[in-house]
Amino acid sequence: MKSWHRYAITVVGGLAVGLGAAWALTGGGLTNGAIANGPWTTSLGFGTKATDPITRAMVARAGLLALPAKETVYWSAKSDAAGAKLDGNCRYRLSGKPLDARWWSVTIYDEAGYLVANPADIWSVNGANVAIDAKGEWRVAISPTRPADGAWLPGTKGQPFHLTLRMYNPGQAFRADPAKAVLPQIVKEGC
């Protein structure tokens, strides 16, 4: 084999490895943040000038046009409270107390971060449309079939899913220590 053949092979290989590495390094989605709170993770560096190139590319791929943390904190969950992957075949109880923010919502996406068609045309719940019970808590069922009563976020059979919790204008107490904030629980009830 001639020398230039060897260089040609490593040029092609180097380009392929470099592009693959770039794609892999920036594919962590919004869940690769620095802050974890139960199954939820976030980073307070989204959408700011201080963000490093890898985080910027990661956010561009997973949450393009995301707002900075003062405006909105984006939490992402791929698993339930027990650490199991969120599964569209199963029933979950999503519950919590009203969050320390001017407005909040939880949206269900597929693994790539897109909305999936469902017969009810429901993809999110928010602070204005969940009922608060006598204990001051709200509760939502995530399941492929509509529950007998209560709020519902449709899952899709045969598809894993992700949840994104948005907190608009989070309170000062929350921003002081988001890792210890009380966030919604995601508990699997059956499959």
Partner 1 sequence: MRNWLGPLAFGLILAAATAWVAIGAIPYGLMNVAMERLGQAGVNTMSYGNLANPNRQPVVRPSPDLAYSSCPYDLSVGPLAIDVTPVPGRYSSLSIFDAATDVIFVRNDVEAVGKPFRIVLAREGQAVPAGAEVVRANHDRGIALIRLLLKDPKEIGGLDAVRRQSSCATVTKLK
Binding site for partner 1 (CB under 8 A): 1, 3, 6-7, 9-11, 13-15, 17-19, 21-23, 25-26, 30, 47-49, 51, 53-54, 56-57, 59-65, 67-68, 70-71, 102-103, 105, 107, 109, 112-117, 121, 123-124, 126, 128-129, 164, 166, 168-169
Quickly list DSSP for 26-58.
T--GGGG-SEEETTEEE-TTTTSTT--HHHHHH
Shortest Å, Cβ 65 to partner 1: 6
- Nearest CA to 26 out of 68, 65, 63, 55 is that of 55
- Nearest CA to 51 out of 68, 27, 76 is that of 68
**Can you tell me the distance from the alpha carbon of 153 to that of 160, in angstroms, rounded to the nearest whole number?**
14
Which residue, 123 or 174, is less far from partner 1 as judged by CB? Answer: 123
Q: Where are the alpha helices (DSSP H) in 141-189?
A: 172-176
Which residue, 61 or 175, is less far from partner 1 as judged by CB? Answer: 61
Which residue, 25 or 132, is less far from partner 1 as judged by CB? Answer: 25
Which residue, 26 or 41, is less far from partner 1 as judged by CB? Answer: 26
